[in-house]
Structure 1
Amino acid sequence: MSHVETDPAVSAKVDSYLGEVLNLTDPVLDAVLAANAAAGLPPIDVSAAQGRMLALFVAMTGAKRVLEIGTLGGYSTICLARALPAGGRVVTIEREAAHAEVARRNFERAGMADRIDLRIGAALDVLPTLEGPFDLVFVDADKPNNPGYFDWALRLSRPGTTIVFDNVIRSGAVADTGSADPNVQGSQAALRLLGNHPRLRATAIQTVGVKGWDGFALAVVGE
């Protein structure tokens, strides 16, 4: 692969092009990003293309109940909620109360508040209080706790549930088996669990773009 193909500036330019040609520009989601920035939230939301992908996952799977672990300012939550059928619901968990308040205002701005159940607290404390099954689980929280999130994603699933782990490639560091980075170790743990569990069929996809070099893991729960 040539240097041009991996140049971050080129990747960002391609993302911009895709946004235009695929009509990904969205004033409501742009306002969400602006509100997040104004509140000092870290700029780690999914990209517009990734948000559309999440919405398509909901549509393709026919999901009515979605669980999101890691809300931040609610950008991805809104993408998931918009794709739900009538009566569908997203349960999303955010550890930081200040972030959750920003997200709550964003949900109202987007007209999605009635589709979203926002829970505040550490996810591993909140997850035992939830009732499954969920049709789709999106895990995008602190990486060192991925093994615990994996366990609860399975407990709250059913045959056919789709499970997505975000940010598993870590700019390629995931392949460093000697890494001492807890985030890398958490991603490696998630991939091992997804790959070795007898009820799961899983894959992982590398991505480039405005969010840099990363990727996601995707699995479907079997019988």
Structure 2
Amino acid sequence: MFFLPQDLDDYIVAHSQNEPQILKDLSRETYQKVLQPIMLSGPYQGRVLSMISSLISPKRVLEVGTFTGYSALCLAEGMPENSDLVTIDINEELESLCSRYFLRFRESVKKINFIQKIGPALDIIPELEGYFDLVFIDADKPNYVNYFHQIMKKVRPGSLIISDNVLWHGKVVETVKKKDMSTPVLLEYNKLLKEDPRLQTVLLSVRDGLTLSRVIKS
């Protein structure tokens, strides 16, 4: 699925940094073996995540929503060697697929400590120790507000929170359907990020919407 006209999306990808081979391979395998491959960040957003990570060089990263590991690998590109990337997903069936690519990254690209946590993120996040320099949220939308409140206890001034799918296929500017459980939460979440005095927030029209929120005070 293209969130921009396909020819425009192709042009953007063609004029951005090339997608590394490891990500091309992971994307191909995801489309071959996994349901809903559209959940991948993809080459355009992937290069954006890699650039952001490279600019801030985070030593500790938390990802909520691993899927097959594409976005984790993009974020890892900008991390210093031997830094920690903790990634959480509830789907244990994808753990082995992610592990293979994380190991390949460590052996061929850079030594990053990938720490996979399987289970409900709302149970796992409170148990994590220390603070994170960068947090990427790309999980079940009805829990975005809940994730935010937990994550704010794990960040400090200077940390960056990146939130994915905040435009939700354009549904945030449409009439909300009665059975839609995600859009109302995203509307609340987007408002929360804008109005929280602890954050400096900008919403980018990257793919399905990507919000950058810099923590300015605790």
TM over 0.5: yes
Q: What 5-or-longer segments of structure 2 have no aligned partner?
A: none
Taking structure 1 as reference, are residues 25 and 203 closer, same or farther at Cα in structure 2, changes over 3 Å only?
Answer: closer
Residue in structure 2 matching 1:60, options 52, 55, 62: 55
Taking structure 1 as reference, are residues 21 and 102 closer, same or farther at Cα in structure 2, changes over 3 Å only?
Answer: same
> What does residue range 13-92 of structure 1 map to in structure 2 within 5 Å?
13-43=7-37, 44-92=39-87
Matched residues, percent identical? Answer: 34
Contact map agreement 1:179 1:185 (CA 8 A) in 2: no
Deviation, 1:101, is 2.0
* Corresponding position of 1:4: none
Contact map agreement 1:194 1:202 (CA 8 A) in 2: yes
Per-residue displacement from partner, 1:71-120 (whole Å, max 9, x unpaired)? 00000001111210122221100100002222112212333674211111
Aligned AA (1:65)? R
Q: What 5-or-longer segments of structure 1 have no aligned partner?
A: 1-7, 209-213
Deviation, 1:17, is 2.7
* Corresponding position of 1:196: 195
* Corresponding position of 1:215: 209
TM-score (norm 2): 0.88
Pair 1:101 & 2:96 matched: yes
Taking structure 1 as reference, are residues 110 and 41 closer, same or farther at Cα in structure 2, changes over 3 Å only?
Answer: farther
> What does residue range 108-187 of structure 1 map to in structure 2 within 5 Å?
108-111=103-106, 114-176=112-174, 178-180=176-178, 181-187=180-186
Q: How many residues are treated as equivalent by the alignment?
A: 211
Taking structure 1 as reference, are residues 115 and 82 closer, same or farther at Cα in structure 2, changes over 3 Å only?
Answer: farther
Taking structure 1 as reference, are residues 144 and 101 closer, same or farther at Cα in structure 2, changes over 3 Å only?
Answer: same
Aligned AA (2:205)? Q
TM-score (norm 1): 0.87
Provide the C-alpha distance between the structure 2 equivalents of 1:177 and 1:204, rounded to a whole number of angstroms. Answer: 21
Aligned AA (2:190)? L
Deviation, 1:26, is 2.4
CA RMSD, aligned part only? 2.0
Provide the C-alpha distance between the structure 2 equivalents of 1:59 and 1:26, rounded to a whole number of angstroms. Answer: 15
Contact map agreement 1:41 1:72 (CA 8 A) in 2: no
> What does residue range 4-15 of structure 1 map to in structure 2 within 5 Å?
11-15=5-9
Provide the C-alpha distance between the structure 2 equivalents of 1:50 and 1:10, rounded to a whole number of angstroms. Answer: 12
Taking structure 1 as reference, are residues 152 and 17 closer, same or farther at Cα in structure 2, changes over 3 Å only?
Answer: same
- Large movers: runs of 4+ above 6 Å: none
Per-residue displacement from partner, 1:181-219 (whole Å, max 9, x unpaired)? 1121221121122122121111212235xxxxx211111
